Amino acid sequence: MANMAQAIRMALHYAETNYDLKDVFGQDVGAPLGGVFTATQGIKTAWNSPLDERGIIGMAMGIAMTGDRCVAEIQFADYIFNTIDLLKIAGNTLWCTNGQYNLPMTVMTPVGAGIRGSVYHSHSFDAWASRLAGWKVVMPSNPLDAYGLLLSCILDPNPTMFLKPKALMRVRGEELIPGEPADEKELKNMIDAPIGDRSAWKANWPKIQEYLVPFGKGKITREGNQITVVSYGRHLLLCNEVADQLAAEGYSVEVIDLRSIYPYDWQMIKSSVQKTGRFLCVNEDTEVTNFGEHLSYRVTQELFYELQARPRVIAGKHVPGIGLHPNLEDASVPQKHEIAEAIKEICGEIP
Amino acid sequence: MKKTSVSSSKKSASANKALLIKKTKTTEKAKAPAKINFGGLSKELLLTMHSHMVKSRVLEERLIKIYRAGESFFWIGGPGEEAWGVPLGMLAKKGQGPEYDYLHLHYRCSPTLIAMGLDMTDSIRLMMNRATDPNTGGRNFSNHFVIPQWNIAPVTSPLEVQYPIACGTAHVQKRTGKKAITIVTGGDAGTAEGDFASSLILASRKGQELPMLITVQNNKWGISTCYDGQHGETFIADRARAFNIKSQVINGNDPVEVYLTLKEDMEYIRKTGKPAFVEAMVSRLYGHSSASGANPIQNEVDPVKEFEMKLLKAGLLKESEAKEIWATFEAEGVRATETARAEGVPTPESIWEHTYVGSENADWRKF
């Protein structure tokens, strides 16, 4: 069973082989490292750029302007902030040109806490990304979805942002990617670069097949009828765990993996909330103008008379950074006990 | 080529002299055509450049009139950059796709596009935010051109972002291997942005050099802030030299010098696949934009009038011919304005169009 880094690698290989993907680039993306999380190891079209985020995004825009597909990586989302106006321009280029120039580019970047990454390796970007009109934004919670979402991003003619939950890069999923060998060791021997000298190494790719996760389609990962919990990325797994734990206490929690942040699966959220009457969104980006607030607003506006309790959002604290000490990190981003408490509180609320 | 040019000059000088005899009382004292160095360029080429320069100036002054008449919200444009922009447009390999030159231009680029064949009406449609504006459909400012058929990348208000974007088109052209190049233009003030440095770095990496003509039009101003107080380098071009990029500073108010320089540099880039850099010293004749009044600035060189004077002195152009050229373009500008004025404007409901390709729904209310 592939981990998420291997799944991303296989998606990039599939795309450069079958979708005419010509450039995968960013700092340390090419040989010998193949990405700080090894997600670009063995990719033929991968190359190293200077340490220059604006140069990386600008170049991706220019490549896309010619019609060529590319995947550009910003090594950590914490370093994407100095490209924000380029991201804005990438998102508005089609609109400003009245439909004449589309940019088929994908930006991928690791996001979120969970690896004790301190101030500059822990930040989230989903709330910021959701405000970039003209972009499609996704965040997987498992390797199979990472594979399917990344392929959808690369195929899409618009700018797409693939947010990689860095704490899940070594986490394995429960479902095989089509064509992936079932034996983890076999896969590792085929596509993981050896330690030490890699100059003569080439990946031996399995015969993987196309698998697409469409934009705007969520997935119900736990069925329930008391409360709807919407999440994505790393926190989706925490929500699943909490749902399982609370099931033993008699709570029936429905968990939705949103997968696609924009566009998003409103119909799935709507039908679930109509069933449960309760809504909670969980993510780790900071809480003020958080994307979950938009969902909560919409639930309130459109489903107000069907609600049994006030919608809530659990998100990262609105503090300038995520401190290194575990006490600081854990106090800054949502923890399982907070999710469990919120679920119990919401379920206990009587209209 | 040089011989042809001299021969043409003589003929034209003779005709010009005849005209002066008819019109003035001092005809007997009229000076013989001056010997002016036009770098061996043919009369035909020189007159074509002059015509494009005049057309561009007339167009820009027409845009300013439209702004003053309250028929547009904002003007920003290129009076003063005709001697730079026209040769650039004449020399570019025009077409669509990586086999042709890409141009990442700024909002003072109408001379370049006039030289490439821009219809005045399309510029005025853009100025007047018409739905018929083929560039942006009425969505963006004047001179923010978009012409994919000629590889004109979308002009953006923040100019410097175009420098790293240009590296991307050049990267694809290098891969395509058809000797096409990417041209990027910008102002002196914007070179303070990191994007400018990004392009120098990306274009000059050893063994991975990009076929780019990187240029700066130095008008000595950033809106209202003077160049002198903001730069420590002697020339901006010196920064390119530090990256081993072929680099020079030229008089951007002299179309002959510009033409010869760009021709040489473009040939160098096409031949070597390596970048070249040009800093062109230019005028800014109506200030930054309508935000600063769009009034004529008196103490700057007017490259159109200066070039026209040289052509007259050299006998390559008659005064009557010059007047006719100006009048013809004035009339064209009036007609173009009337055409654009009568056309429709964007509808409110069109805001959702082209957020995504195929106008796929982008409105969350409809998810």
ipTM of the prediction: 0.96
- Give the closest-approach CA distance of A92 to chain B in angstroms: 7
User: pLDDT at position A18, please?
Assistant: 98
Q: What is the number of helices (H) and of strands (E) in chain A?
A: 11, 12
Torsion of CA B199, B266, B101, B77, to 10 degrees: 70
- DSSP for residue B209: -
- Check whether A78 has a pLDDT greater than 80: yes
Average pLDDT of the segment spanning B311-323: 98
Mean model confidence pLDDT for chain A: 97
For residue B135, the chain A residues in CB contact (below 8 A) are: 97-98
Q: In Å, how far are A2, A20, A100, B169 from A159, measured between CA atoms? A: 27, 16, 14, 16
Query: What is the CB neighbour count within 10 angstroms for residue A27?
Result: 21
Residue with tokens 């206490």: A249
Fold of A4-191: Rossmann fold (3.40.50)
Is B359 at the interface with chain A, CB within 8 A?
yes
pLDDT of residue B15: 36
Determine the Cα–Cα distance for residues B240 and B174; give it in Å rounded to an integer. 20
Query: For A96, which of B140, B158, B357 is closest by C-beta distance?
Result: B140
The strand order across the sheet containing A136-138 reads: A46-48, A21-26, A69-73, A105-111, A160-165, A136-138, A260-262
pLDDT, tens digit (0-9, with 9 covering 90-100), for B16-44: 343 333 444 444 455 688 899 999 999 99
| H or E, element range at B276 | strand B276-281
Give yes or no for a contact between B299 and B289, defined as CB atoms under 8 angstroms apart: no
Residues paired with B279 in a beta bridge: B216, B249
> pLDDT-based confidence at B54, cuts 50/70/90?
very high
Q: What are the residue ranges spanned by the domains of chain A?
A: 4-191, 219-348
Paired tokens of B149? 């058929």
Q: What is the pLDDT of residue B181?
A: 98
Report the pLDDT averaged over residues A283-311.
98
In this predicted structure, what is the pLDDT of residue A350?
A: 86
Q: Are strands A253-257 and A219-222 parallel, antiparallel or unpaired?
A: antiparallel
Check residue B188 and give its pLDDT.
95
Please give, rounded to a whole number of angstroms, the shortest distance from the CA of B139 to a CA of chain A: 6
What is the chain B residue with the closest CA to A65? B169
pLDDT at B4: 32
Average pLDDT (B342-355) is 97
Place of tokens 């700024």: B106
Instruction: Please determine, for residue B11, whether its predicted confidence score (pLDDT) is greater than 70.
Output: no
CA distance A261 to A315: 15
> Are the beta carbons of B246 and B77 closer than 8 angstroms?
no
Residue B10, pLDDT > 90, answer no
Burial readout A179-204 (b: 16 or more C-beta within 10 A, e: otherwise)? ebbeeeeebeebbbbeeeeeeeeebe
Q: Do B102 and A66 touch (CB under 8 A)?
A: yes
- Torsion angle of the four alpha carbons A107, A109, A111, A116, in this order, in degrees rounded to the nearest 10: -170
Q: Return the CATH class of domain A219-348.
A: alpha beta
Is the pLDDT at B330 greater than 70, yes or no?
Answer: yes
Q: Which member of B139, B198, B367 has the closest CB to residue A54?
A: B198
Rounded Cα gap, residues B57 and B322, in angstroms: 13
Closest-CA residue of B relative to A105 is B168
The closest CB to that of B168, out of A54, A59, A265, belongs to A59
Q: Which amino acid is at B4?
A: T
Q: Which of A238, A339, A346 is nearest to A299 (CA)?
A: A346
Q: Is B97 on the interface with A (CB under 8 A)?
A: yes
Answer yes or no: do B354 and A99 touch at CB < 8 A.
Answer: yes
CA distance B135 to B154: 8
Whether residue B346 lies within 8 A of chain A, CB to CB, comes out as no
**Closest chain A residue to B351, measured at CA:** A95
B61-95 pLDDT per residue, tens = 999 999 999 999 999 999 999 999 999 999 999 99
- Contact between A54 and B195 using a beta-carbon 8 Å cutoff: yes
Q: What is the 3-state secondary structure (H, E, C) of B45-110?
A: HHHHHHHHHHHHHHHHHHHHHHHHCCCCCCCCCCCCCHHHHHHHHHHCCCCCCCCCCEEECCCCCH
Q: Which residues pair with A281 in a beta bridge?
A: A230, A313
Collapse the DSSP code of A23 into the 3-class scheme (helix H, G, I; strand E, B; otherwise coil) and give the result.
strand
Chain A CB contacts of B194 below 8 Å: 52, 54
Q: What is the CB neighbour count within 10 angstroms for residue B254?
A: 22
Q: Which two tokens stand for residue A281?
A: 């969104």
Helix ranges (H only) for B205-288 are 237-241, 255-272
CA nearest neighbour of B214 among B254, B282, B274, B134: B274
Give the number of residues written for chain A. Answer: 351
Q: Where are the alpha helices (DSSP H) in chain B?
A: 2-23, 43-68, 82-91, 110-116, 120-127, 162-176, 194-204, 237-241, 255-272, 303-313, 319-341
For residues B150-177, average pLDDT: 97
At A41 the three-state DSSP class reads coil
Q: Which of A23, A48, A54 to mutate to probe the B interface, most B CBs <10 Å?
A: A54
Q: Tell me the residue type at B84.
A: W
Cβ separation B161–A58 shorter than 8 A? yes
β-bridge pairing B182-184 and B102-104: parallel
Contact between chains at B102 and A265 (C-beta distance less than 8 A): no
Inter-chain touch B356–A85, beta carbons under 8 Å: no
pLDDT for the residue numbered B30: 56
Span A275-280, mean pLDDT? Answer: 98
A292 contacts A269 by C-beta, under 8 angstroms: no
CA-based nearest distance A91→chain B, Å? 8
- Mean pLDDT, rounded, of chain B: 92
Q: A192 is written with which tokens?
A: 């993981």
Q: Nearest C-alpha of chain A: how many angstroms from B233?
A: 23
- Superfamily for domain range B40-287+301-341: Thiamin diphosphate (ThDP)-binding fold, Pyr/PP domains (3.40.50.970)
Question: Would you say the CATH fold of A219-348 matches that of A4-191?
Answer: yes
d(CA B66, CA B62): 6
Among B303, B115, B273, B267, CA closest to B205: B273
Cβ contacts below 8 Å, chain A against chain B, sum to 142
E strand map for A77-194: 105-111, 136-138, 160-165
Given a cut of 50, whether residue B322 has pLDDT beyond it is: yes
Helix (H) or strand (E) holding A222, with range, is strand A219-222
Q: What are the domain boundaries of chain B?
A: 40-287+301-341
pLDDT at B269: 98
DSSP state of A201: -
| Residue A214 contacts B, CB cutoff 8 Å | no
Q: What is the mean pLDDT of residues B187-192?
A: 96
Q: Cβ of B195 under 8 Å from any chain A Cβ?
A: yes
How does DSSP classify residue A19? S
CB contact B232 to A (< 8 Å) = no
Count the Cβ atoms, other than its own, within 10 Å of residue B147: 23
The per-residue pLDDT for B17 is: 40
Query: Residue B159 region, left (φ>0) first, then alpha (ψ -120 to 50), else beta?
Result: alpha
Averaged over B315-321, what is the pLDDT?
A: 98
Contacts of A104 (CB under 8 A, 6+ apart): A64, A67, A68, A69, A70, A156, A157, A158
